[in-house]
């Protein structure tokens, strides 16, 4: 690894293995925890169960053309047969598979079908995330309680608004200022321009439906500011090869941004190949004092110690670690006095999609590998409950023109065929949904009492599924989406329900939810465990409800806010 991300493995006893803070996980939220803690002067250890990945150096396919890949980017049948689960993941292909976990390497028990998508390496899934960064609105925070289908967060939009800004300025988020109540504006770089058909969609949806079709908020640097240049990052060049790892740092990842920034303080230590077994609770001190780690390669156990512990292992692994952190005080998992640890697991409903052809606009051609999509902001159940289902959904969309016109050639060979191929084809438009789901106690994860992994840690059992509310929302999207497409003049609209299991959306949330009541939640308004105040959870496990917007930037904002509070409490000697 480079000097900026030097790995230190401590083997000299408790003193050498002691830090001010420990962060479990190096992904989107873990990287932010490391950055904020190190900037505030805390000696911080980041534990990552996977291998090292150094920015630029460890992106082996970043500069390869498709024809330079052994199978032109396609996944072989052999790979699919060995990895039936992970090969379904968005972005998984020959050029990105090294950033995804192989099925056989990390088993779990599916009591009900659940596709658990994981990426174990320094940077985690920040290397392969979708990069959508729309803010939650006050409606997202309060709707479950207002409409009676769940609990409200112990904070609202006003509490997190400035932390959104703090994060957006640093990571670089492009977007347009649209004044949409259900999708607040932020600190945006220049938005990606809508092409001619997308502008047509925008006009029709506003005039006929009073709905907003706008450029998405995406974690891409469209016009670098000094803070991005200081990180060593450059303008996104629209290669749209993001999940290979971007040598330019054009999109945000822990590897290109937060971890190197933390390393520059001199306060960061990263320890890869460190599978966290459990958090150590001291009965006399009545707080957590460290983390027990199993070396991924040697399977040797080591303990590390710190005053503050941030758990950012990704939602389900965070649940697993806490469930496995048992003691006389917490026989059912760390902080689990309520008995709710592992319960209220939720996700996003991605099952619906559609696609069709747009007639006309033949004088226009658009050929840019734009890495950002357009978004139709949530228009369901925003200011009042107006449907037979709870929650809302956003729609991602885009328009493009086929590269080759191979539909009207008079003959499949010869000069006329070549002439036809030289002209661009039809315009097409797509839509797919991202819907809120209801957090239910029955949707849960728990530890197996019989089966363990290769490190001696109990396997996680997933018991999560859809409900009638999800089906009703899907039906509404398919009807409304098709109506919008047809109103815009799109023909041959083909709709579908993927029927994919939960989890494939890669937005698993909950299990260690926030709340104002310790009897109905695990975390307080500062993301602290109610009953173990020096442990903070700021990844997807902390979520009380799912909202309809992509959650990753909210995790980052939660993390920065929680670190600020943790350090303040540490200075007051309250931790």
Residue 211 lies in a domain: yes
* C-beta separation of 61 from 69 below 8 A: yes
Q: If DSSP codes are grouped into helix, strand and coil, which group holds residue 149?
A: coil
Assess whether 399 and 482 both reside in one domain. Answer: yes
pLDDT for 408: 57
Assess whether 416 and 559 both reside in one domain. Answer: no
Structure tokens at 78: 């052999």
pLDDT for 7: 40
Q: What is the DSSP string of 81-135?
A: HH-TTGGGSTT-STTTGGGS--GGGS--EESS--------BTTGGGGT---B-PP
* C-beta separation of 220 from 130 below 8 A: no
pLDDT for 260: 98
pLDDT for 2: 39
Going from the C-alpha of 488 to that of each of 115, 178, 197, 358, 493, the distances in angstroms are: 35, 21, 9, 8, 11
Query: 449, 478, 501 — which closes off a domain?
Result: 501
Structure tokens at 569: 């409490």
Assess whether 9 and 122 both reside in one domain. Answer: yes
Residue 562 lies in a domain: yes
For residues 562 and 558, what is the distance between their CA atoms, to the nearest angstrom? Answer: 6
pLDDT for 235: 97
Kindly report the three-state secondary structure assignment for every residue of 419-484. Answer: HHHCCCCCEEEEEEEEECCCCCCCCEEEEEEEEECCCCCEEEEEECCCCHHHHHHHHHHHHHHHHH
pLDDT for 273: 98
Q: What is the DSSP string of 166-210?
A: HHHHHH-EE-----BTTB---SEEPPPPP-HHHHHHHHHHHHHH-
pLDDT for 419: 72
Kindly give the pairing relationship between strand 188-189 and strand 173-174. Answer: parallel
Q: Can you give the CATH number for the domain in which 564 is found?
A: 3.50.50.60
Phi, psi of 200 (to 5 degrees): -65, -45
Assess whether 340 and 362 both reside in one domain. Answer: no
Going from the C-alpha of 308 to that of each of 8, 23, 368, 572, the distances in angstroms are: 20, 9, 46, 14
Whose CA is closest to 401, among 374, 430, 431? 430
* C-beta separation of 33 from 23 below 8 A: yes
Beta bridge partners of 301: 294
Assess whether 531 and 384 both reside in one domain. Answer: no
Query: 478, 501, 524 — which closes off a domain?
Result: 501
Which domain range does residue 207 map to?
A: 192-215+350-435+466-501
Q: What is the DSSP string of 203-239?
A: HHHHHHH---EEEPPBSB-SS--HHHHHTT-------
CB atoms within 10 A of CB 66: 12
Grouped pLDDT means (10 residues each) for the chain, 575 residues: 40 79 98 98 98 98 95 94 95 96 95 97 97 97 95 96 98 97 97 96 98 98 98 96 96 98 98 98 97 97 98 98 98 98 98 95 82 97 96 97 65 72 85 98 98 97 98 98 98 97 96 97 98 98 97 98 98 93
Residue 134 lies in a domain: no
Assess whether 335 and 303 both reside in one domain. Answer: yes
- R_g of the chain computed on alpha carbons: 24
Assess whether 13 and 83 both reside in one domain. Answer: yes
Assess whether 115 and 55 both reside in one domain. Answer: yes
Assess whether 333 and 278 both reside in one domain. Answer: yes
pLDDT for 8: 40
Cα 439-443-445 angle, rounded to 5 deg: 125
Going from the C-alpha of 316 to that of each of 118, 198, 348, the distances in angstroms are: 10, 37, 15
Assess whether 478 and 520 both reside in one domain. Answer: no
pTM here? 0.94
Query: 501, 516, 548 — which closes off a domain?
Result: 501
Assess whether 454 and 317 both reside in one domain. Answer: yes
Across 193-216, b (16+ Cβ under 10 Å) vs e yields ebbbbbebbbebbeeeeebbbbbb
Number of domains within the chain: 2
Residue 160 lies in a domain: no
Q: What is the DSSP string of 276-329?
A: EEEEEEETTTTEEEEEEEEETTT--EEEEEEEEEEE-S-HHHHHHHHHH---SS
Residue 402 lies in a domain: yes
Residue 208 lies in a domain: yes
Residue 412 lies in a domain: yes
Assess whether 109 and 34 both reside in one domain. Answer: yes
Residue 179 lies in a domain: no
For residues 89 and 244, what is the distance between their CA atoms, to the nearest angstrom? Answer: 14
């Amino acid at each position: 690894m480079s000097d900026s991300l030097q790995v230190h493995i401590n083997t000299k006893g408790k003193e050498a293995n002691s830090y001010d803070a420990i962060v479990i996980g190096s992904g989107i939220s873990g990287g932010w925890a490391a950055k904020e803690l190190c900037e505030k002067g805390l000696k911080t250890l980041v534990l990552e169960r996977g291998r090292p990945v150094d920015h630029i150096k460890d992106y082996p396919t970043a500069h390869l053309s498709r024809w330079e890949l052994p199978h032109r980017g396609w996944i072989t049948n052999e790979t699919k047969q060995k990895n039936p689960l992970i090969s379904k993941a968005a972005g998984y292909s020959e050029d990105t598979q090294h950033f995804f976990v192989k099925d056989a390497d990390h088993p779990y028990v599916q009591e009900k079908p659940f596709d658990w998508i994981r990426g174990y390496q320094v940077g985690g899934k920040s290397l392969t995330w979708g990069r959508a960064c729309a803010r939650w609105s006050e409606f997202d925070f309060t709707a479950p309680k207002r409409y009676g289908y769940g609990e409200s967060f112990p904070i609202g939009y006003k509490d997190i608004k400035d932390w959104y800004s703090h994060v957006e300025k640093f990571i670089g988020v492009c977007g347009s200022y649209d004044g949409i109540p259900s999708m607040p504006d932020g600190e945006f770089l220049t938005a990606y321009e809508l092409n001619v058909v997308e502008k047509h969609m925008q006009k029709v949806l506003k005039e006929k439906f009073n709905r907003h079709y706008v450029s998405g908020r995406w974690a891409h640097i469209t016009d670098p500011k000094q803070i991005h240049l200081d990180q060593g990052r450059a303008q996104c060049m629209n290669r749209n090869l993001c999940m290979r790892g971007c040598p330019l740092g054009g999109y945000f990842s822990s590897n290109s941004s937060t971890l190197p920034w933390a390393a520059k303080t001199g306060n960061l230590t990263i320890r890869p190949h460190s599978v966290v077994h459990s958090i150590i609770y001291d009965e006399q001190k009545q707080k957590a004092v460290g983390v027990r780690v199993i070396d991924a390669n040697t399977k040797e156990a080591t303990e590390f110690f710190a005053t503050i512990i941030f758990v950012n292992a990704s939602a389900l692994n965070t649940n697993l670690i806490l469930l496995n952190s048992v003691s006389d005080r917490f026989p059912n998992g760390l902080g689990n006095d309520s008995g709710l640890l592992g319960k209220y697991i939720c996700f996003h409903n991605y099952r619906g999609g559609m696609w069709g052809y747009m007639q006309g606009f033949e004088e226009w051609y658009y050929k840019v590998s734009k890495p950002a999509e357009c978004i139709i902001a949530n228009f369901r159940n925003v200011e009042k409950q107006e449907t037979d289902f709870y929650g809302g959904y956003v729609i991602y969309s885009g328009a493009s023109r086929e590269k080759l016109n191979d539909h009207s050639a008079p003959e499949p060979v010869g000069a006329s065929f070549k002439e036809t191929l030289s002209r661009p084809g039809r315009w097409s438009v797509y839509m797919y949904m991202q819907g809120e789901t209801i957090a239910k106690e029955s949707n849960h994860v728990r530890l197996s009492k019989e089966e363990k992994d290769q490190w001696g840690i109990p396997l996680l059992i997933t018991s999560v599924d859809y409900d009638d509310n999800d089906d009703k929302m899907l039906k509404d999207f398919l009807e409304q989406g098709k109506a919008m497409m047809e109103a815009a003049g799109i023909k041959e609209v083909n709709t579908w329900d993927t029927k994919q299991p939960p989890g494939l959306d890669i937005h698993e949330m909950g299990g260690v939810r926030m709340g104002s009541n310790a009897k109905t939640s695990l975390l307080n308004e500062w993301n602290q465990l109610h009953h173990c105040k020096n442990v903070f959870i700021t990844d997807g496990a902390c979520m009380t409800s799912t909202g309809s917007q992509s959650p990753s930037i909210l995790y980052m904002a939660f993390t920065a806010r929680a670190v600020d509070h943790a350090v303040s409490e540490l200075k007051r000697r309250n931790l």
